[in-house]
Amino acid sequence: MPVTIAIPTPLRQFAGGQSELEVNATTAGEALDQLTATHSELRRHLFNDQNALRNFVNVYVNDEDIRHVDGPNTPVKDGDTILIVPSIAGGNVAAVEEKTQAEMPANRPQDAGAPLPMLSNEEVARYSRHLIMPEVGMTGQRKLKAASVLMIGTGGLGAPLGMYLAAAGVGRMGLVDFDVVDASNLQRQIIHGTKDVGRPKIASARDRIQDINPHVEIETHETRLTSENALRLFVNYDVIVDGTDNFPTRYLVNDACVLTGKPNVYGSIFRFEGQASVFWAERGPCYRCLYPEPPPPGLVPSCAEGGVLGVLPGIIGAIQANEAIKIILGAPDIMVNRLLLFDAWRMRFRELKLRKNPDCPVCGDNPTVKELIDYEEFCDITQQPPASEPTMEEITATELKQRLDQGDDIQIIDVREPHEYEIANIPNTKLIPLGQVLNRMNEIDPERETVVHCKMGGRSAKAIEALQRSGFQGKLINLKGGITAWSNEVDPSVPKY
């Protein structure tokens, strides 16, 4: 019977660019087998070497996770939709390098028994559109003034978050970031302006939030979020909002929220798709219940590599701000136990059910993670290949230019997408997008030395690995740093994007 499989944006390059495919199947596993038989490169993104679904990919039949039904044997019927929901990292350019260790604030979350702060006449006028709503009113606005929110990141998601939470009257806000404003941020990170390029994001965000609402107390932490400082930071705030863009920090935020009992307002974005939820272990699942393990490094592209529609973080960030405000107000229907998927290109929302995993190592019945761990090691960021594995050969842009100038016979394969090729390209290269590399392998001459490149070197490495697994016999070399390095080292006239 015909069922529709919805292909998420990060995996469409391995499915011929298609967003939906129709197959005839009676179970979810049979449908996925048919899908991956047609698109073989997609299989390694969905299944591990033991032929089991990977832990960073969830499969839903309509709104039910098949892990909580009958796994791959979950029956499907005519007209059902199978959704593949992978973990995505995108959000803000998050902390990956420490500059200065922030001072921890002496303030503490509002004591449940303490009297709520009063509103001045100026604040009453400012928040009047809240005050006339019975769901907020004077008591709700005073709750907002008493509340504290810690924002991890002040970039794509953090920009609308910070601005809306400040405008709503959240009394105390903590900002964690250390990055600087880059021109490429301005397409979506609306808290920063052209005049802020080169400034620390945390300074730019602080100034903008203060301008929106001078009644807000702002605490800045220009530091990397680490296992050493996360618990000390989190304990000082009522709500934690995750606006990060990498898996080590996502798992760190989750585990620290579970250990401190804080709600984790989650959002992530990629290209034109977004996800949002509230992970609160005391009331429902945590992030690890949804994604027990992170994907291997490089398997999921970042926003820097895959791009993001400029308005998307505004939409997802506003949803996160909405949920944070609802938590503070004590609204009855916050987004616990639900995962919201948004497709900005099609303007579609989907809502999926989430369930707590009793075997979750952090929030399950018998947790094994009782303190923060090394999250870069957990996500294999620092793991080196075994000595027996050959290291992929690389060439720098400067070395490639020297060899081309001396007349060496080198073919250059560009594995980016056609729209990227239009932005910038290296002369005399052949364009074969990553998703087409195996089907067009015969267009690459194995008798010639081949340099493969993309934007920054990640996709080209994947292409080389895929070609080698498929038996390509020629010499393959990865261009270190991709076309970005070519622009930096060889030809500044080539645009950087």
- CATH number of the domain enclosing 327: 3.40.50.720
Residue among 24, 33, 32, 18 at smallest CA distance from 3: 24
Q: Are residues 141 and 289 in the same domain?
A: yes
Q: Are residues 42 and 180 in the same domain?
A: no
Active site residues: 303, 454
Handedness of CA 179, 298, 20, 436 (dihedral sign): positive
Looking at residue 97, what is its pLDDT? Answer: 37
Q: Are residues 415 and 464 in the same domain?
A: yes
Residue among 45, 8, 42, 62 at smallest CA distance from 272: 8
Q: Are residues 247 and 340 in the same domain?
A: yes
Three-class SS of 178-192: CCECCHHHHHCCCCC
Say if 142 falls within a structural domain: yes
Q: How far is CA 454 from the centre of its chain?
A: 21
The average confidence (pLDDT) of the chain is 90
Q: Are residues 367 and 437 in the same domain?
A: no
The per-residue pLDDT for range 190-220, each reduced to its tens digit, is 999 999 999 999 999 999 999 999 999 999 9
Say if 484 falls within a structural domain: yes
Of 34, 68, 86, the one marking the end of a domain is 86
Residue among 86, 5, 9, 6 at smallest CA distance from 309: 9
Say if 111 falls within a structural domain: no
Does pLDDT of 390 surpass 60?
no
In one-letter notation, the amino acid at residue 106 is A
Distance (Å, whole) CA 487 – CA 417: 18
Q: Are residues 301 and 373 in the same domain?
A: yes
HSE value, Cβ hemisphere, 13 Å, CA-based, for 178: 14
Q: Are residues 182 and 36 in the same domain?
A: no
CATH at 432: 3.40.250.10
Residue among 160, 185, 156 at smallest CA distance from 91: 156
Does pLDDT of 467 surpass 50?
yes
Distance (Å, whole) CA 287 – CA 249: 12
In one-letter notation, the amino acid at residue 41 is E
Using alpha carbons, list the distances in angstroms from residue 268 to 105, 112, 243, 336, 423.
28, 31, 7, 16, 26
* pTM for the predicted model, two decimal places: 0.80
HSE value, Cβ hemisphere, 13 Å, CA-based, for 125: 3
Per-residue DSSP letter, 454: -
Q: Are residues 277 and 128 in the same domain?
A: yes
Q: Are residues 166 and 229 in the same domain?
A: yes
The per-residue pLDDT for range 302-353, each reduced to its tens digit, is 666 678 999 999 999 999 999 999 999 999 899 999 999 999 999 999 999 9
Q: Which two tokens stand for residue 210?
A: 């203060």
Looking at residue 386, what is its pLDDT? Answer: 42
Of 378, 413, 437, the one marking the end of a domain is 378
Does pLDDT of 381 surpass 70?
no
Looking at residue 296, what is its pLDDT? Answer: 74
Of 378, 403, 425, the one marking the end of a domain is 378
Looking at residue 298, what is its pLDDT? Answer: 61
Q: Are residues 435 and 294 in the same domain?
A: no
Say if 494 falls within a structural domain: no
Domain that holds residue 423: 394-489
Per the structure, the count of domains in the chain is 3
For range 66-70, the mean pLDDT? 90
